[in-house]
Amino acid sequence: MPSKNTAEKRQKVDTIIHAKWLIPMSKSGLILEHHSLIIQQQMIREILPRSEVENYFFSDENYDLNEHIVIPGLVNAHGHAPMSLLRGYADDLALQPWLEEKIWPAEARWVSEKFVRDGAELAIAEMLLSGTTAFTDMYFFPDLVAKAALKANIRAHLTSPVLDFPTVWAKDPDEYIHKAMTLHDKYKNNEHIHVGFGPHATYTVSDQPMQKLATYASELDIAIHLHTHETAQEVQQAVDKSDKRPLGHLHELGLLIPNLQCVHMTQLLDDEISLLADCGVSVVHCPASNMKLASGLCPTGKLMDAGIIVGLGTDGSASNNELNMINEMRLAALLGKITSDDASSLSAWQALHMATVNGAKLMGLGEQTGTLESGKFADITAVNLNRLNTSPVYDPVNTLVYSAQANQVSHVWVAGKLNVKDHQLISLDAHALHEKAKDWADKIQAQA
Protein backbone atom coordinates (compact mmCIF):
# COMPACT_ATOMS: atom_id res chain seq x y z
CA MET A 1 0.00 0.00 0.00
CA PRO A 2 1.36 3.45 -0.85
CA SER A 3 1.79 5.76 2.11
CA LYS A 4 -0.74 8.56 2.55
CA ASN A 5 1.89 10.97 1.35
CA THR A 6 2.48 9.05 -1.91
CA ALA A 7 -1.24 8.61 -2.48
CA GLU A 8 -1.77 12.34 -2.33
CA LYS A 9 0.85 12.93 -4.99
CA ARG A 10 -0.77 10.49 -7.37
CA GLN A 11 -3.30 11.92 -9.77
CA LYS A 12 -6.76 10.56 -10.30
CA VAL A 13 -7.61 9.99 -13.98
CA ASP A 14 -10.73 8.82 -15.81
CA THR A 15 -9.51 5.44 -17.09
CA ILE A 16 -6.41 3.26 -17.01
CA ILE A 17 -6.01 0.45 -19.56
CA HIS A 18 -3.29 -2.14 -18.98
CA ALA A 19 -2.37 -4.01 -22.16
CA LYS A 20 -0.34 -7.12 -22.85
CA TRP A 21 0.63 -5.74 -26.26
CA LEU A 22 0.15 -2.04 -27.03
CA ILE A 23 0.58 -1.05 -30.69
CA PRO A 24 0.71 2.77 -30.93
CA MET A 25 1.20 2.80 -34.77
CA SER A 26 3.27 5.95 -34.33
CA LYS A 27 6.20 3.90 -35.67
CA SER A 28 6.01 0.73 -37.76
CA GLY A 29 7.00 -2.39 -35.85
CA LEU A 30 6.75 -0.78 -32.40
CA ILE A 31 5.24 -3.21 -29.87
CA LEU A 32 5.03 -2.05 -26.25
CA GLU A 33 4.66 -5.02 -23.92
CA HIS A 34 2.94 -4.59 -20.54
CA HIS A 35 2.28 -0.90 -21.00
CA SER A 36 -0.68 1.20 -19.89
CA LEU A 37 -2.78 3.95 -21.41
CA ILE A 38 -3.76 6.80 -19.11
CA ILE A 39 -6.98 8.49 -20.25
CA GLN A 40 -8.25 11.83 -19.06
CA GLN A 41 -11.07 13.94 -20.52
CA GLN A 42 -11.45 12.04 -23.80
CA MET A 43 -7.73 12.11 -24.54
CA ILE A 44 -4.73 9.85 -24.12
CA ARG A 45 -2.75 11.61 -21.45
CA GLU A 46 0.20 9.29 -21.28
CA ILE A 47 1.54 5.85 -22.18
CA LEU A 48 3.94 4.28 -19.71
CA PRO A 49 5.17 0.89 -18.51
CA ARG A 50 2.59 -0.82 -16.35
CA SER A 51 5.04 -1.15 -13.48
CA GLU A 52 5.29 2.66 -13.22
CA VAL A 53 1.59 3.53 -13.34
CA GLU A 54 0.84 3.33 -9.65
CA ASN A 55 3.63 5.77 -8.84
CA TYR A 56 1.76 8.52 -10.65
CA PHE A 57 -1.88 7.69 -11.39
CA PHE A 58 -4.96 5.95 -10.07
CA SER A 59 -8.52 5.56 -11.34
CA ASP A 60 -11.89 4.02 -10.50
CA GLU A 61 -11.99 2.63 -14.07
CA ASN A 62 -9.22 0.07 -14.60
CA TYR A 63 -9.06 -2.51 -17.36
CA ASP A 64 -6.64 -5.42 -17.14
CA LEU A 65 -6.29 -6.60 -20.73
CA ASN A 66 -3.66 -9.21 -20.05
CA GLU A 67 -4.31 -11.40 -23.10
CA HIS A 68 -5.04 -8.58 -25.50
CA ILE A 69 -3.56 -6.56 -28.32
CA VAL A 70 -4.58 -2.90 -27.96
CA ILE A 71 -4.56 -0.85 -31.16
CA PRO A 72 -5.84 2.51 -32.41
CA GLY A 73 -9.55 2.24 -33.24
CA LEU A 74 -10.04 1.00 -36.81
CA VAL A 75 -11.20 3.46 -39.48
CA ASN A 76 -13.53 2.19 -42.19
CA ALA A 77 -12.76 4.58 -45.06
CA HIS A 78 -15.70 3.74 -47.34
CA GLY A 79 -19.24 2.46 -46.91
CA HIS A 80 -22.96 2.98 -47.28
CA ALA A 81 -24.15 2.23 -43.73
CA PRO A 82 -27.93 2.08 -44.26
CA MET A 83 -27.44 -0.54 -47.00
CA SER A 84 -26.91 -3.05 -44.20
CA LEU A 85 -30.65 -3.66 -44.52
CA LEU A 86 -29.92 -5.00 -48.05
CA ARG A 87 -27.26 -7.43 -46.85
CA GLY A 88 -27.76 -10.61 -48.87
CA TYR A 89 -30.49 -9.06 -51.03
CA ALA A 90 -28.51 -9.28 -54.30
CA ASP A 91 -25.53 -11.60 -54.42
CA ASP A 92 -23.43 -13.15 -57.18
CA LEU A 93 -23.93 -10.35 -59.74
CA ALA A 94 -21.55 -7.99 -61.56
CA LEU A 95 -21.60 -4.28 -60.65
CA GLN A 96 -23.90 -2.97 -63.39
CA PRO A 97 -26.72 -5.59 -63.16
CA TRP A 98 -26.30 -5.56 -59.36
CA LEU A 99 -26.86 -1.78 -59.32
CA GLU A 100 -29.34 -1.37 -62.18
CA GLU A 101 -31.52 -4.46 -61.75
CA LYS A 102 -31.47 -4.97 -58.00
CA ILE A 103 -30.03 -2.22 -55.78
CA TRP A 104 -31.33 0.98 -57.42
CA PRO A 105 -34.91 -0.37 -57.80
CA ALA A 106 -34.90 -1.60 -54.18
CA GLU A 107 -33.60 1.77 -52.98
CA ALA A 108 -36.20 3.62 -55.03
CA ARG A 109 -38.90 1.50 -53.39
CA TRP A 110 -37.64 1.35 -49.80
CA VAL A 111 -35.28 4.17 -48.85
CA SER A 112 -36.95 6.45 -46.33
CA GLU A 113 -35.95 8.22 -43.15
CA LYS A 114 -36.83 5.10 -41.14
CA PHE A 115 -34.83 2.83 -43.49
CA VAL A 116 -31.77 5.07 -43.12
CA ARG A 117 -32.07 5.34 -39.34
CA ASP A 118 -32.51 1.59 -38.79
CA GLY A 119 -29.89 0.62 -41.37
CA ALA A 120 -27.32 3.08 -40.06
CA GLU A 121 -27.75 1.85 -36.48
CA LEU A 122 -27.41 -1.77 -37.60
CA ALA A 123 -24.21 -0.90 -39.48
CA ILE A 124 -22.75 1.12 -36.62
CA ALA A 125 -23.45 -1.68 -34.15
CA GLU A 126 -21.63 -4.16 -36.37
CA MET A 127 -18.71 -1.76 -36.88
CA LEU A 128 -18.28 -1.05 -33.18
CA LEU A 129 -18.43 -4.74 -32.26
CA SER A 130 -15.65 -5.45 -34.76
CA GLY A 131 -13.37 -2.66 -33.51
CA THR A 132 -14.19 0.28 -35.81
CA THR A 133 -14.26 3.70 -34.14
CA ALA A 134 -14.68 5.93 -37.22
CA PHE A 135 -16.22 5.50 -40.65
CA THR A 136 -16.71 7.34 -43.92
CA ASP A 137 -20.17 7.02 -45.41
CA MET A 138 -21.99 7.96 -48.60
CA TYR A 139 -25.77 7.70 -48.45
CA PHE A 140 -29.10 9.50 -48.61
CA PHE A 141 -30.30 11.33 -45.46
CA PRO A 142 -26.75 11.76 -44.11
CA ASP A 143 -28.26 13.98 -41.40
CA LEU A 144 -29.90 10.85 -39.97
CA VAL A 145 -26.67 8.84 -40.23
CA ALA A 146 -25.08 11.69 -38.23
CA LYS A 147 -27.75 11.35 -35.54
CA ALA A 148 -27.23 7.57 -35.38
CA ALA A 149 -23.46 8.09 -35.07
CA LEU A 150 -23.87 10.62 -32.26
CA LYS A 151 -26.28 8.32 -30.43
CA ALA A 152 -23.83 5.43 -30.70
CA ASN A 153 -20.70 7.50 -29.91
CA ILE A 154 -18.75 6.73 -33.10
CA ARG A 155 -16.94 9.18 -35.40
CA ALA A 156 -18.48 9.63 -38.83
CA HIS A 157 -17.27 11.30 -42.03
CA LEU A 158 -20.47 11.79 -44.00
CA THR A 159 -19.92 12.42 -47.68
CA SER A 160 -23.25 13.86 -48.70
CA PRO A 161 -24.48 12.26 -51.94
CA VAL A 162 -24.53 14.08 -55.29
CA LEU A 163 -26.26 12.66 -58.38
CA ASP A 164 -27.70 14.01 -61.63
CA PHE A 165 -31.04 12.30 -61.15
CA PRO A 166 -33.79 12.82 -58.55
CA THR A 167 -34.05 10.58 -55.49
CA VAL A 168 -35.91 10.73 -52.21
CA TRP A 169 -33.06 12.95 -50.89
CA ALA A 170 -32.87 15.66 -53.60
CA LYS A 171 -34.26 16.54 -57.03
CA ASP A 172 -31.21 17.81 -58.95
CA PRO A 173 -27.46 18.43 -58.49
CA ASP A 174 -28.00 21.93 -57.09
CA GLU A 175 -30.24 20.61 -54.34
CA TYR A 176 -27.82 17.77 -53.49
CA ILE A 177 -24.97 20.28 -53.23
CA HIS A 178 -27.06 22.74 -51.22
CA LYS A 179 -27.98 19.98 -48.76
CA ALA A 180 -24.33 18.97 -48.43
CA MET A 181 -23.33 22.56 -47.63
CA THR A 182 -26.14 22.87 -45.06
CA LEU A 183 -25.00 19.65 -43.40
CA HIS A 184 -21.40 20.88 -43.35
CA ASP A 185 -22.49 24.11 -41.76
CA LYS A 186 -24.48 22.31 -39.09
CA TYR A 187 -21.61 20.06 -37.98
CA LYS A 188 -18.54 22.17 -38.68
CA ASN A 189 -17.69 22.46 -34.98
CA ASN A 190 -18.66 18.91 -34.00
CA GLU A 191 -15.81 16.60 -32.96
CA HIS A 192 -17.64 13.39 -33.92
CA ILE A 193 -19.25 14.38 -37.24
CA HIS A 194 -17.34 15.52 -40.33
CA VAL A 195 -18.91 16.31 -43.68
CA GLY A 196 -17.64 16.00 -47.25
CA PHE A 197 -19.07 15.68 -50.75
CA GLY A 198 -20.04 12.27 -52.10
CA PRO A 199 -20.56 12.44 -55.87
CA HIS A 200 -21.45 8.83 -56.74
CA ALA A 201 -19.35 8.38 -59.91
CA THR A 202 -18.37 10.12 -63.13
CA TYR A 203 -21.12 8.21 -64.97
CA THR A 204 -23.86 9.49 -62.60
CA VAL A 205 -22.67 13.09 -62.02
CA SER A 206 -22.09 15.45 -64.95
CA ASP A 207 -19.26 17.93 -65.49
CA GLN A 208 -20.84 21.13 -64.21
CA PRO A 209 -21.74 19.87 -60.70
CA MET A 210 -18.35 18.11 -60.51
CA GLN A 211 -16.57 21.43 -61.13
CA LYS A 212 -18.68 23.17 -58.49
CA LEU A 213 -17.69 20.46 -56.02
CA ALA A 214 -13.98 21.04 -56.75
CA THR A 215 -14.38 24.75 -56.02
CA TYR A 216 -16.41 24.29 -52.83
CA ALA A 217 -14.23 21.43 -51.54
CA SER A 218 -11.10 23.57 -51.89
CA GLU A 219 -12.77 26.59 -50.27
CA LEU A 220 -14.08 24.60 -47.30
CA ASP A 221 -11.14 22.17 -47.25
CA ILE A 222 -13.40 19.12 -47.18
CA ALA A 223 -13.24 15.82 -49.07
CA ILE A 224 -14.70 14.80 -52.40
CA HIS A 225 -15.31 11.06 -52.07
CA LEU A 226 -15.93 9.39 -55.45
CA HIS A 227 -16.25 5.84 -56.83
CA THR A 228 -13.77 5.83 -59.75
CA HIS A 229 -12.21 3.27 -62.07
CA GLU A 230 -14.20 0.59 -60.24
CA THR A 231 -14.53 -1.75 -63.23
CA ALA A 232 -13.07 -2.16 -66.72
CA GLN A 233 -16.59 -1.65 -68.09
CA GLU A 234 -16.87 1.78 -66.42
CA VAL A 235 -13.57 2.88 -67.96
CA GLN A 236 -14.52 1.52 -71.40
CA GLN A 237 -17.89 3.26 -71.37
CA ALA A 238 -16.18 6.58 -70.60
CA VAL A 239 -13.73 6.03 -73.47
CA ASP A 240 -16.62 5.17 -75.83
CA LYS A 241 -18.48 8.31 -74.77
CA SER A 242 -15.76 10.94 -74.62
CA ASP A 243 -12.56 9.26 -75.79
CA LYS A 244 -11.15 9.77 -72.31
CA ARG A 245 -10.65 7.53 -69.30
CA PRO A 246 -12.47 8.85 -66.19
CA LEU A 247 -9.25 10.00 -64.49
CA GLY A 248 -8.17 11.95 -67.59
CA HIS A 249 -11.60 13.52 -67.72
CA LEU A 250 -11.47 14.44 -64.01
CA HIS A 251 -8.03 15.96 -64.57
CA GLU A 252 -9.39 18.19 -67.35
CA LEU A 253 -12.24 19.27 -65.08
CA GLY A 254 -9.78 20.29 -62.34
CA LEU A 255 -10.92 17.57 -59.95
CA LEU A 256 -7.54 15.98 -59.28
CA ILE A 257 -6.86 17.90 -56.08
CA PRO A 258 -5.62 16.74 -52.64
CA ASN A 259 -9.22 16.79 -51.36
CA LEU A 260 -10.20 14.03 -53.81
CA GLN A 261 -10.55 10.46 -52.50
CA CYS A 262 -10.92 7.89 -55.27
CA VAL A 263 -12.67 4.73 -54.14
CA HIS A 264 -11.85 1.34 -55.74
CA MET A 265 -9.33 2.20 -58.51
CA THR A 266 -9.01 -1.32 -59.90
CA GLN A 267 -8.14 -0.14 -63.42
CA LEU A 268 -4.99 1.98 -63.41
CA LEU A 269 -2.18 2.60 -65.85
CA ASP A 270 1.27 3.43 -64.52
CA ASP A 271 1.11 7.04 -65.76
CA GLU A 272 -2.25 7.44 -64.02
CA ILE A 273 -0.65 6.35 -60.73
CA SER A 274 2.07 9.00 -61.25
CA LEU A 275 -0.60 11.61 -61.98
CA LEU A 276 -2.50 10.74 -58.79
CA ALA A 277 0.72 11.00 -56.78
CA ASP A 278 1.65 14.35 -58.37
CA CYS A 279 -1.80 15.76 -57.61
CA GLY A 280 -1.90 14.45 -54.02
CA VAL A 281 -5.08 12.44 -54.64
CA SER A 282 -5.75 9.61 -52.16
CA VAL A 283 -7.30 6.18 -52.73
CA VAL A 284 -9.64 3.92 -50.78
CA HIS A 285 -9.21 0.21 -51.34
CA CYS A 286 -12.23 -2.09 -50.81
CA PRO A 287 -10.88 -5.63 -51.31
CA ALA A 288 -13.98 -7.69 -50.44
CA SER A 289 -16.32 -5.59 -52.57
CA ASN A 290 -13.91 -5.64 -55.53
CA MET A 291 -13.67 -9.42 -55.32
CA LYS A 292 -17.40 -10.01 -54.82
CA LEU A 293 -18.43 -7.87 -57.79
CA ALA A 294 -15.45 -9.17 -59.81
CA SER A 295 -14.49 -5.53 -60.33
CA GLY A 296 -10.75 -6.06 -60.56
CA LEU A 297 -7.56 -5.62 -58.53
CA CYS A 298 -6.44 -2.34 -56.98
CA PRO A 299 -2.63 -2.03 -57.37
CA THR A 300 -2.09 -1.15 -53.70
CA GLY A 301 1.66 -1.89 -53.76
CA LYS A 302 2.31 0.49 -56.66
CA LEU A 303 0.07 3.17 -55.15
CA MET A 304 1.86 3.06 -51.80
CA ASP A 305 5.28 2.95 -53.49
CA ALA A 306 4.27 6.16 -55.29
CA GLY A 307 3.55 7.79 -51.92
CA ILE A 308 -0.23 7.83 -52.31
CA ILE A 309 -2.25 7.58 -49.09
CA VAL A 310 -4.36 4.42 -49.33
CA GLY A 311 -7.18 3.84 -46.85
CA LEU A 312 -9.19 0.68 -46.40
CA GLY A 313 -12.97 0.33 -46.60
CA THR A 314 -15.62 -2.35 -46.49
CA ASP A 315 -18.04 -0.70 -48.94
CA GLY A 316 -21.73 -1.34 -48.12
CA SER A 317 -23.07 -4.60 -46.74
CA ALA A 318 -24.89 -5.29 -50.01
CA SER A 319 -21.53 -5.91 -51.71
CA ASN A 320 -19.32 -7.33 -48.96
CA ASN A 321 -21.43 -8.64 -46.96
CA GLU A 322 -19.99 -7.53 -43.62
CA LEU A 323 -18.51 -4.39 -42.07
CA ASN A 324 -15.57 -6.14 -40.48
CA MET A 325 -12.29 -4.25 -40.76
CA ILE A 326 -10.27 -7.09 -39.24
CA ASN A 327 -11.28 -9.30 -42.13
CA GLU A 328 -10.80 -6.42 -44.58
CA MET A 329 -7.17 -6.01 -43.40
CA ARG A 330 -6.59 -9.72 -43.97
CA LEU A 331 -8.12 -9.55 -47.45
CA ALA A 332 -6.08 -6.44 -48.31
CA ALA A 333 -2.86 -8.19 -47.27
CA LEU A 334 -3.69 -11.36 -49.20
CA LEU A 335 -4.93 -9.56 -52.30
CA GLY A 336 -1.93 -7.21 -52.24
CA LYS A 337 0.36 -10.21 -52.64
CA ILE A 338 -1.56 -11.67 -55.58
CA THR A 339 -1.86 -8.26 -57.27
CA SER A 340 1.87 -7.56 -57.09
CA ASP A 341 2.93 -11.22 -57.47
CA ASP A 342 5.10 -10.71 -54.39
CA ALA A 343 4.44 -12.42 -51.04
CA SER A 344 6.32 -9.67 -49.18
CA SER A 345 3.98 -6.99 -50.54
CA LEU A 346 1.32 -5.47 -48.25
CA SER A 347 2.42 -6.83 -44.88
CA ALA A 348 0.11 -7.18 -41.88
CA TRP A 349 1.67 -4.01 -40.46
CA GLN A 350 0.94 -2.12 -43.68
CA ALA A 351 -2.66 -3.36 -43.61
CA LEU A 352 -3.04 -2.08 -40.03
CA HIS A 353 -1.44 1.23 -41.07
CA MET A 354 -4.02 1.59 -43.86
CA ALA A 355 -6.85 0.81 -41.43
CA THR A 356 -5.72 3.27 -38.74
CA VAL A 357 -3.21 6.01 -39.63
CA ASN A 358 -4.29 6.41 -43.27
CA GLY A 359 -8.01 6.15 -42.49
CA ALA A 360 -7.68 8.96 -39.94
CA LYS A 361 -5.80 11.12 -42.48
CA LEU A 362 -8.57 10.58 -45.05
CA MET A 363 -11.12 11.81 -42.51
CA GLY A 364 -9.00 14.92 -41.97
CA LEU A 365 -8.29 13.67 -38.43
CA GLY A 366 -4.64 12.67 -38.70
CA GLU A 367 -3.70 14.99 -35.83
CA GLN A 368 -6.56 13.85 -33.59
CA THR A 369 -6.78 10.07 -33.95
CA GLY A 370 -5.37 7.08 -35.90
CA THR A 371 -2.46 6.41 -33.51
CA LEU A 372 -2.18 5.92 -29.76
CA GLU A 373 -0.14 8.91 -28.60
CA SER A 374 -0.49 11.42 -25.80
CA GLY A 375 -2.65 14.35 -26.83
CA LYS A 376 -4.77 12.32 -29.26
CA PHE A 377 -8.34 11.18 -28.70
CA ALA A 378 -8.66 7.91 -26.80
CA ASP A 379 -10.10 5.96 -29.76
CA ILE A 380 -9.01 2.46 -28.81
CA THR A 381 -9.75 -1.15 -29.74
CA ALA A 382 -8.75 -4.21 -27.71
CA VAL A 383 -8.72 -7.71 -29.17
CA ASN A 384 -8.41 -10.80 -27.00
CA LEU A 385 -5.83 -13.12 -28.57
CA ASN A 386 -6.26 -15.84 -25.94
CA ARG A 387 -8.09 -18.23 -28.28
CA LEU A 388 -6.99 -21.40 -30.00
CA ASN A 389 -7.15 -19.79 -33.44
CA THR A 390 -4.77 -17.04 -32.29
CA SER A 391 -2.28 -19.18 -30.34
CA PRO A 392 0.64 -18.99 -30.12
CA VAL A 393 1.59 -15.35 -30.71
CA TYR A 394 4.98 -14.44 -32.22
CA ASP A 395 4.07 -11.02 -33.63
CA PRO A 396 0.71 -9.77 -32.28
CA VAL A 397 0.00 -7.62 -35.38
CA ASN A 398 0.55 -10.59 -37.70
CA THR A 399 -1.74 -12.64 -35.43
CA LEU A 400 -4.38 -9.91 -35.47
CA VAL A 401 -4.42 -9.54 -39.26
CA TYR A 402 -3.95 -13.15 -40.36
CA SER A 403 -5.69 -15.13 -37.59
CA ALA A 404 -8.07 -13.08 -35.44
CA GLN A 405 -11.83 -13.01 -35.84
CA ALA A 406 -14.02 -9.94 -35.30
CA ASN A 407 -15.71 -11.58 -32.31
CA GLN A 408 -12.39 -11.44 -30.46
CA VAL A 409 -12.80 -7.65 -30.17
CA SER A 410 -13.49 -7.24 -26.46
CA HIS A 411 -13.42 -3.48 -25.72
CA VAL A 412 -13.83 -0.34 -27.82
CA TRP A 413 -13.52 3.26 -26.65
CA VAL A 414 -14.29 6.41 -28.66
CA ALA A 415 -13.01 9.65 -27.10
CA GLY A 416 -12.40 7.77 -23.87
CA LYS A 417 -15.98 6.54 -23.61
CA LEU A 418 -16.57 2.80 -23.53
CA ASN A 419 -18.81 1.51 -26.34
CA VAL A 420 -18.04 -2.21 -26.21
CA LYS A 421 -17.30 -3.96 -22.92
CA ASP A 422 -16.46 -7.66 -22.64
CA HIS A 423 -17.67 -8.19 -26.24
CA GLN A 424 -21.05 -6.54 -25.50
CA LEU A 425 -22.33 -3.40 -27.17
CA ILE A 426 -23.30 -0.83 -24.58
CA SER A 427 -24.06 2.25 -26.68
CA LEU A 428 -26.86 0.64 -28.76
CA ASP A 429 -29.52 -2.02 -28.13
CA ALA A 430 -28.29 -5.01 -30.16
CA HIS A 431 -31.45 -7.06 -29.57
CA ALA A 432 -33.75 -4.28 -30.83
CA LEU A 433 -31.59 -3.81 -33.94
CA HIS A 434 -31.77 -7.50 -34.69
CA GLU A 435 -35.58 -7.42 -34.52
CA LYS A 436 -35.81 -4.31 -36.74
CA ALA A 437 -33.54 -5.89 -39.37
CA LYS A 438 -35.77 -9.00 -39.47
CA ASP A 439 -38.88 -6.83 -39.89
CA TRP A 440 -37.29 -4.96 -42.82
CA ALA A 441 -36.24 -8.18 -44.55
CA ASP A 442 -39.77 -9.60 -44.17
CA LYS A 443 -41.25 -6.46 -45.75
CA ILE A 444 -38.72 -6.23 -48.57
CA GLN A 445 -38.91 -9.92 -49.39
CA ALA A 446 -42.72 -9.90 -49.43
CA GLN A 447 -42.71 -7.36 -52.26
CA ALA A 448 -39.62 -8.53 -54.16
Element (H, E) at 11: strand 11-12
CB of 200 to Zn ion, least distance (A): 8
In sequence order, what are the residues at sequence separation of 6 or more whose Cβ sits closer than 8 angstroms to the Cβ of residue 55?
6, 10
Separation of alpha carbons 207 and 288, rounded Å: 30
Q: Report the C-alpha gap between 256 and 262 in whole angstroms.
A: 10
Cβ contact 173:110 at 8 Å: no
Candidate segments 167-175, 188-196, 251-259, 308-316, binder of Zn ion by CB under 5 A? 308-316
Contacts of 79 (CB under 8 A, 6+ apart): 123, 135, 136, 137, 138, 313, 314, 315, 316, 323
Nearer to Zn ion, 121 or 315 (CB): 315
The count of chain residues that interact with Zn ion, using the rule CB under 5 A, is 1
By C-beta, is 118 or 315 nearer to Zn ion? Answer: 315
Q: Minimum Å distance from CB 319 to Zn ion?
A: 7
What residues have CB less than 8 Å from 198, skipping those under 6 apart? Answer: 138, 158, 159, 160, 161, 162, 180, 225, 226
- Relative to beta strand 424-425, strand 417-421 is antiparallel
CA distance linking residue 37 with residue 357, whole number of Å: 18
Closer residue to Zn ion in complex, CB, 287/416? 287
Q: Is the torsion defined by CA of 201, 203, 209, 214 positive or negative?
A: positive
| 317 closest CA partner among 73, 91, 77 | 91
Among positions 409-448, residues that touch Zn ion (CB under 5 A) are none
User: Shortest distance, CB of residue 444 to Zn ion, whole angstroms?
Assistant: 20
| Choice between 93 and 430, CB closer to Zn ion | 93
Binding string, residues 73-112; x marks residues near Zn ion by CB under 5 A = ----------------------------------------
Q: Would you say 78 or 330 has its CB closer to Zn ion?
A: 78
Give residues 313-332 in contact with Zn ion (rule: CB under 5 A). 315
Q: Where are the alpha helices (DSSP H) in 134-228?
A: 142-152, 173-187, 207-220
Shortest CB 67 distance to Zn ion, Å: 36
The residue number with the shortest CB distance to Zn ion is 315
**Minimum Å distance from CB 335 to Zn ion?**
17
Return the closest-CA partner of residue 303 out of 325, 335, 330.
335
Give the nearer residue to Zn ion in terms of CB position, either 263 or 273: 263
Alpha-carbon distance of 296 to 339, in angstroms, equals 10
To Zn ion, the closest distance from the beta carbon of 83 in angstroms equals 9
- The smaller minimum CB distance to Zn ion, of residues 315 and 328, is found at 315
Question: Residue 164 CB, nearest distance to Zn ion (Å)?
Answer: 17
User: How far apart, in Å, do the first and last CA atoms of the chain sit?
Assistant: 68
Specify the stretch interacting with Zn ion by CB under 5 A; choose among 98-106, 111-119, 214-222, 307-315: 307-315
417: β partners: 414
Residue 369's nearest CA partner among 211, 224, 215, 154 is: 154
- Tell me the closest approach of the beta carbon of residue 80 to Zn ion, in angstroms: 6
Q: Strand, coil or helix: what is 361?
A: helix
> Minimum Å distance from CB 192 to Zn ion?
22
Q: Which residues bind Zn ion (CB under 5 A)?
A: 315
